A and B are shown apart, each in its own frame.
Chain A
């Protein structure tokens, strides 16, 4: 079993739909949770960053973390064709030592928003 599980999709939705992307994880040491968006032939772009459990909103994006269930989500409201990309969840235990800055990624979900 992978440490982080993410459905690779692909996911296809019409423009304006609400998109829900999810990851589950098994390592209870994870404290920092991130969502990245990656367009073809580009590097991952940080979308959301949260610490511990709770919700965070930024424009059309909302990130949720439920540490008790080891489950994180990213919601995209009013989705646009420009949101078409691969979305990667990532998490880390932070702190120092051998886990310093070490992100564990999900496999990525390919999202297509069609006009």
Chain B
């Protein structure tokens, strides 16, 4: 088991649905991340939160909306997704910018 917990593990949604992915860590880390991973590819950075403030947005389409309610929680709100958005969405956390990232096991998202 990882110390970064993601829910749900699997999600199937239609293109008109609104859903949210959730992530929680209790390691006291001050940075949290969303990554997207397609099959047989490395993870790609989407967003970085540092001290609960959005510090990096890697030009992600607005149909993905991140939220950091507190230092332990990170959400990713999804709306009007496309089938090509189907992927494994990974949350990660780190102590600071020089520390290694610790990943959760991801949410496997399928958009129909």
- Residues on A close to B: CB < 8 A? 31-32, 34, 36, 41-46, 49, 51, 88, 90, 92, 94-96, 98-103, 105-108
Contacts and interface: CB of A to CB of B under 8 A. Distances in A.
Contacts, number: 72
B56 interface: yes
Interface of B: 2, 4, 6, 31, 33, 40-43, 45, 48, 50, 55-56, 88, 90, 94, 96-106, 108
B79 to A, nearest CB: 24
A49 B96 CA distance: 14
A95 B97 contact: yes
B106 to A, nearest CB: 5
Contacts of A51: 98
A45 B97 contact: no
